[in-house]
A and B are shown apart, each in its own frame.
Chain A
Amino acid sequence: VRLLVGAVLAASLLGLPAFADAPSQQEIEESLTCQCGCGLTVHSCNHLQCPSGEPMKAEIRRRLEAGETKETILAAFAATYGEKVLSAPTMRGFNWLAWITPFAAVLLAGGVLVVVVRRRVGQNAGGAPEPPAAEGPDAELRARLRRELDAMDREP
């Protein structure tokens, strides 16, 4: 369990952007949704001379050259087009729910799973008897399978 949680946390950290880097044109284009109706990000829209994507790319370039930060540029686009222009929810207010809920759900379900498993492990340690083996031809087949698997798993 610790390994699993560690893997998730490490991967989350590795997935975080480098805070010190200056924003790139591509990074900002990927943070904005093209308004031509293609449903793709500004970066991905490749409509021939797209009436929405091309002016947006030019504006991003101009603002970057003027030294604006990513946050300022995204805020400017959101003010012009509305929040829907951002390709991901902001990490503010109600939108936090979008980001937190999946991880919260997984952690909560994982917590419940750990508690349930731990309880069952405890019950078992308390001497819960092994269920009786099934009988009949099915049991014979299982026994044969077990023998063959054991034989295969044995070190040469």
Chain B
Amino acid sequence: MAEIGRLAVCLALMCAAFSVLASIGGALRRRADLVRSGEHAAYATWALVVVAVVLLLRALLARDFAIEYVAAYSSSTLPTNYTVAALWGGQKGSLLFWTFMLTTFTTVVGIQNRERNRELMPWVTATLMVVATFFLALVTFITDPFERLPVAATEGSDLNPLLQNYWMMIHPPSLYTGFVSASVPFAFAIAALATGRLGDQWIRTTRRWALFSWFFLTLGNLFGAMWAYEVLGWGGYWAWDPVENAAFMPWLVSTAYLHSVMIQEKKDMLRVWNMVLVLLTFSLTIFGTFLTRSGVISSVHSFTQSGLGPFFIGFLLAVLLVSGGLIVWRLPELRTKGTIESFLSREAAFLFNNLILVGIAFAVFWGTVFPVISEWVRGVKITVGPPFFNRVNAPLGIALLFLMGVGPVIAWRRATPKNLRRAFVGPVASGLVAALLLVVAGVPFGGAWLTFALGIFVLGTIWQEFWRGMRARQAMLHESAPRALTRVVGKNRRRYGGYVVHVGIVAMFIGIAASSAFQIEVRETLEPGQEMTAGRYRLRYERIDSSEDGHVSRLAAVVSVFVGDRQIATLHPEKRFYKKPRQPTTEVSKRTTLREDLYLVLGSFDPETRIVTLLAYVNPLVVWIWIGGLILTLGTAIAVWPGALEQRVVAADPRAAGAAERV
């Protein structure tokens, strides 16, 4: 079976390379048969990659330890769900999985555009297949997942215990989906540059893909944070590790694009800038993969380091050179006559929003690579860790929050004093009242206080938008409040979906600010029956329970939690000792409420005296970060759902869909 898998990968590489040549040849010679042939070769590439993925999955589930990858990342005792997750748990498998997703998206794009965008499609197919060719070449020549061991192993080394968590089933596929789908807008941008069709056709076509990619990047980052929170056991969820940064940077640039593209659609401005953002987002996904694979910057997340760095950096340089060259070549045609009439306008607010988002992305990039720069220049290794990123990004983040309140409600073109009063008096007043109430409630002046007050200001602007839209419909059409609200959202899903997304982001800001500024941390060494206090909680260590199976042995402290004299919960923080490889992990036990998380970690345990060291964290409002993610999901769903008008137009004439999408 391994040989068939390898053969499938080799054939897929050939198909992908043929697809590139046929698509470009067809485009240049204007031969539709060649273009179709290129598309069919892309479909064949996908089918062959599916065969390879299925065979690798089969080898993992059959515990075929004759295959090096299976022996390295699974074992006979590894539960089935983690055995499936081992497909992306190691480098060789994850590159194959990446290729699978890329070719899947290519196939979907091909099917979506069988009758549309025919001028762009050869270049779209060629671009996507160039990326696929690169990954398939790596899988074929350097990281063969079907490589056989000289002598079959009797047992596997097992998946890294830190990866044996249910988030392993969710986080990497989400992040990969976000990373890989960023290739689609990139491919359309390249196609637009190659063909000179630089209007907003490519933007309309890729709008949902850009949102799809951004959404999964958001989820990927959020799931990663939840995973870190539950597994690493240090009371936090974001450590500004290089690999976390690698996932965060494309999200920031993609967010900037989703905002600036609205100006292009509305005012036909920023064509060059939007091209740059799309190309940068894709380049940052490759840069992120380079960071994860190269080991050039040490990271707690680099489970799959190897010598692939030079290949990725070479590919990245090629991408930057080609796409940058294309932009320079098309620069005269990309320039538009659209203009900004005033600083007090939505266009200007969006431009400054872009400045801050890309500024944060640059700050993260700079902090991530600065250790390498320092070593080159001074020959001295340094660390750039959380204190740097927090200090640099906090003010930029607060400025972004402020703009999130301004951008969506300030008038297009030029805001008059009357517009400004109408848009901002209520929200500014609510922000000021909130700021005052927070002081009265004892919240100290600082970043968190400012974040809460600005958050209320932003929520005020959003509330006002919903309220006014609903009241207008009620006044004109005499609808009930729920019906008017539903209709006003349904009539302009993109706008109101965006507002809901902003509510989710505000919730995240508030959760991050509160849990960073007001975290309580207590560490105590206790004998059975002894108590400790963390915030308003009284914690009594009762005993240690132990259990064992063939895969892992567990020690769980039983801790009774009291508020006053009332017992409200029993928590079980654990230490697990995996047998293959012999490695301990921490299993956090927590009690989550809307107000705060009580988060317990078993630090150490003495088997003779049964004395334990417990770490207790009280993390205020942390759950609002995850709730923010749910709200954001709802907002994205509203924004991408096709409106009734668009559905009618698509049903009548698929080619006219673009015009309806614009509405």
A155 to B380, CA, bound (A): 64
Check if A103 is an interface residue, CB within 8 A of chain B.
Answer: yes
Asked if B529 lies at the interface with its beta carbon under 8 angstroms from chain A, I say: no
**Counting CB contacts under 8 A, is A110 at the interface?**
yes
Q: Does B62 reach chain A (CB closer than 8 Å)?
A: no
Known contacts A117-B343, A131-B337, A30 near B387 by CB under 8 Å:
yes
Chain B residue contacts of A3, Cβ below 8 A: 402
CB pair B366 A84 closer than 8 Å? no
Q: B113 at interface (Cβ–Cβ under 8 A)? A: no
What chain A residues lie within 8 Å of B366 (beta carbons)?
98, 101-102, 105
Please give me the residue from chain B that is nearest to A3 by CB atom. Answer: B402
- The distance from the CB of A148 to the nearest CB of chain B, in whole angstroms, is 6
How many Å lie between the Cα of A39 and that of B302 in the bound state?
11
Which of B299, B340, B362, B586 is the one whose CB lies under 8 Å from A102?
B362
Interface string of A92-129 (1 = CB under 8 A from B): 00110111011101100110010001101101100010
B234: interface (CB < 8 Å)? yes
Chain B residues within 8 Å of A144, by CB: 663
Q: How large is the interface on B (under 10, 10 to 19, 20 to 34, 35 or more residues)?
A: 35 or more
Residues in B whose Cβ lies below 8 Å from that of A64:
none
Q: Is B472 an interface residue (CB 8 A)?
A: yes
Known: A8-B399, A98-B388, A117-B340. A88 touches B351 (CB 8 A): no
Number of interface residues of A (CB under 8 A): 68
B386, CB-defined interface residue at 8 Å: yes
| Chain B residues near A110 (CB-CB < 8 A) | 352, 355
Q: Give the Cβ gap from B336 to chain A, nearest Cβ, in Å.
A: 9
Interchain CB contact under 8 A, A39 and B241: yes
| Structural contact, A31 and B343, CB atoms closer than 8 A | no
What residues of chain A lie closer than 8 Å to B381, measured between beta carbons? 82-84
Contact at A41–B386, with CB atoms within 8 Å?
yes
Residues of A within 8 A of B374 (CB): 89, 94-95, 98
The answer to whether B659 touches A141 (Cβ under 8 A) is yes
Q: Name A145's closest neighbour in chain B (CB-CB).
A: B663
A15 touches B383 (CB 8 A): no
Report yes or no: A121 in contact with B342, Cβ–Cβ below 8 A: yes
Q: Tell whether, in the assembled complex, residue B234 and residue A141 are in contact, meaning their CB atoms are under 8 Å apart.
A: no
Q: Are B382 and A141 in contact (CB under 8 A)?
A: no
Inter-chain contacts of B403 with A (CB < 8 A): 4
Contact of B351 among A99, A117, A121 (CB under 8 A): A117
Which residue of B387, B488, B575, B656 has the most chain A CB atoms within 10 A of its CB atom?
B387
Contact pick for B298, options A4, A39, A83, A153, CB 8 Å: A39
A105 in contact with B362 given A44-B234, A84-B382, A88-B384 (CB within 8 Å): yes
Q: How far is the CB of B622 from chain A (nearest CB, A)?
A: 16
Select which of B359, B367, B447, B471 is within 8 A of A106 by beta carbon: B359
Is B391 part of the contact surface with A, judged by Cβ < 8 Å?
A: yes
A20 at the interface (CB under 8 A from B): no
Known contacts being A48-B603, A89-B388, is A121 close to B341, with CB within 8 Å? yes
Q: Please indicate the chain B residues that have their CB under 8 angstroms from the CB of A12 in the complex.
A: 395
Known pairs A7-B402, A94-B374; A88 contacts B233 (CB<8 A): no
B371-411 contacts to A (CB < 8 Å): 374, 377-378, 380-388, 390-392, 394-396, 398-399, 402-403
Query: Chain B: which residue is nearest A37 at the CB level?
Result: B298
Q: Does B663 lie within 8 Å of A46, measured CB to CB?
A: no
Cα of A87 to Cα of B388 in the assembled complex, Å: 8
Whether A40 is near chain B, meaning CB under 8 Å from some CB there, is yes
**Nearest chain B CB to A32's CB is how many angstroms away?**
9
**CB within 8 Å of A: which of B221-248?**
232-236, 239, 241
Is residue B141 contacting chain A, with contact meaning CB distance below 8 A? no
Interface residues of A in 1-55 (CB under 8 A from B): 1, 3-4, 7-12, 14-15, 26, 30-31, 33, 37-41, 44-46, 48-49
Of B268, B377, B387, the contact of A94 (CB 8 Å cutoff): B377
In the bound assembly, the distance between CA atoms of A7 and B239 in angstroms comes to 25
A152 within 8 A of B: yes
Closest chain B residue to A107 by CB distance?
Answer: B359
| B660: min CB distance to chain A, Å | 7
Q: What are the 9 closest A-B residue pairs judged by CB atoms, nearest first?
A: A156-B475, A102-B363, A87-B385, A39-B300, A11-B395, A106-B359, A11-B398, A44-B234, A88-B387
Further 4 A-B residue pairs, CB within 8 A, beyond A15-B446, A40-B239: A4-B399, A44-B235, A121-B341, A128-B339
Chain B interfacial positions (CB closer than 8 Å to A):
232-236, 239, 241, 268, 298-300, 337-343, 348, 351-352, 355-356, 358-359, 362-363, 366-367, 370, 374, 377-378, 380-388, 390-392, 394-396, 398-399, 402-403, 445-447, 449-450, 468-469, 471-476, 488, 491-492, 521, 575, 584, 586, 601, 603-604, 615, 645, 656, 659-660, 662-663
23 contacts between A and B (CB under 8 A): A1-B343, A8-B399, A9-B395, A15-B394, A40-B232, A40-B234, A41-B386, A46-B232, A48-B603, A49-B604, A83-B380, A88-B386, A89-B388, A95-B382, A102-B367, A106-B396, A120-B339, A121-B340, A121-B342, A151-B472, A156-B471, A156-B474, A156-B475
